[in-house]
Chains A and B, each alone.
Chain A
Amino acid sequence: MRAATLLLALACSASAHAADGAVAPWWIWPLALFALSFALGAVSVLAGVGGGVLFVPIVGGFFPFHLDFVRGAGLLLALASSLAASPVLLRNGLANLRLALPLALVASIAAIAGALLGLALPVAVVETALGVVVLGIAGVMWLARRSESPAATSDRLGAALRLHGVFHDPALARDVEWRVQRTPLGIATFACIGLLAGMFGLGAGWANVPTLNLLLGLPLKLSVGTSGFLLSVVDTAAAWVYLLRGAVLPILVAPSVLGVMLGARLGVRFLGRAPAAVVRRLVIALLLVAGARALLKGLGAWN
């Protein structure tokens, strides 16, 4: 962690030199990205958010890469984290494939539309909207409540799609029946989440979990696990748009993906011991700073 902080300080110094007209050596940036992604990987596991939601506004705001490339990298970073976690989540039943099928389908179509829209709009518009969205996410994280009581009844569409089952909670050592309520509204919400994920390159765990838990009435653990798995499908669809449009720079993506993976492994080790409330407040503070930076940069007030 200390090494990560040192490299980040180095990156800030390089950024300042770049602003003065001097060009920092190229290798500073992949090193700084690795350090940042490593730290984000650890922090995001402890805070229960995806790394992409922090990566895009921070790298977009404080690193020299164009936002087109940063959004592509953000999606791939969120995708890589999700791919690494999903096999375990699926195997132990914390994510549910049948539940994910209709939600992922709608969200991935919307994510493709979002990616196309994001690459077509002027960067100042995308940057301003990103700032507003990131500040909104900080608000959602601050206010979001969680429900431990699953829905008791299914709606008609949820029943027709057979979105119900039994989830075994290992911590409680008992089976929990689950069913989906408000399915049409839930599907519409996932379309909006997919659009935002594709447009801004943000992982969407921050929105998936409250939607699954509070709106669809699923048990919290199943919501967190299924959200993690959903990202692997939704981000795949949007990532291909960035990939085929040439908006993926290996020098940006590779160190970020490798850093977040190693950081997440470290974060998991501290999961039981870290002060969750403090980490959560730290993430909200980072989102506020990065969101304000994106907003002001988009408006031309802080370049």
Chain B
Amino acid sequence: MELNERVPEEQLLYARWLDSGTRVGFVALLAAFVAYVSGVLPPYVPLETLPKVWGMPVAQYLHSTGAPEGWGWLSLIARGDYLNLAGIVMLASVSAVCYARVLVALLARRERLQASMAATQLLVFAAVIAGLC
């Protein structure tokens, strides 16, 4: 598809960062999933046990399996199932990284209104990623 000459520079910058981040996230997720289901990395919750617990509400699932909440999963990253969360986290972080990059570009161009909206969005992302919500 041809490049539109009217597209602002910061939008092209966002697109470039989004493209790269998304590709990395997909590859990481695919690799982690293969390692998980092939048994290369043993999971925290055994695959054979999953059908007994995946029908439970999340609170009951966490209680039954002892699975962690919040960022507690990082301590289990060597397990096949939790390594998958790393790929998912990458995909769920790409937009925040792009906003941070675009904020710098907007500030450099003294686009205060757009920069303030991008900064507020980053604060929202930061609050939810930190588990404050």
Identify the A interface with B (CB < 8 A): 18, 23-24, 26-27, 29-30, 64-66, 68-69, 76, 79-80, 83-84, 86-88, 90-93, 96-98, 101-102, 104-105, 108-109, 112, 116, 119, 123, 161-162, 165-168, 170, 175, 232-233, 236-237, 239-241, 243-255, 257-258, 261
Contact = CB atoms under 8 A, between A and B. Distances in A.
Given A102-B117, A233-B121, A257 B22 contact: no
B108 interface: no
A62 B74 CA distance: 32
B121 A244 contact: no
Contacts of B96: 236
A250 B51 contact: no
A65 to B, nearest CB: 5
B113 to A, nearest CB: 7
> SS class of chain B's interface: helix, strand, loop or mixed?
helix
B33 A240 contact: no
10 contacts: A23-B51, A83-B18, A87-B15, A92-B1, A165-B6, A240-B129, A250-B82, A251-B36, A253-B84, A254-B84
| Contact count band on B | 35 or more
B40 interface: no
B124 A112 contact: yes
Given A243-B85, A248-B85, A250-B84, A90 B15 contact: yes
Interface in B84-119: 84-85, 87-89, 91-96, 99, 102, 113-114, 117-118
A249 B61 CA distance: 11
A64 B51 contact: yes
A166 B6 contact: yes
B33 A254 contact: yes
A66 B58 contact: yes
A26 B15 CA distance: 38
Nearest to A167: B6
A241 B70 CA distance: 9
Nearest to B96: A236
Contact of A168 (B4, B81, B117): B4
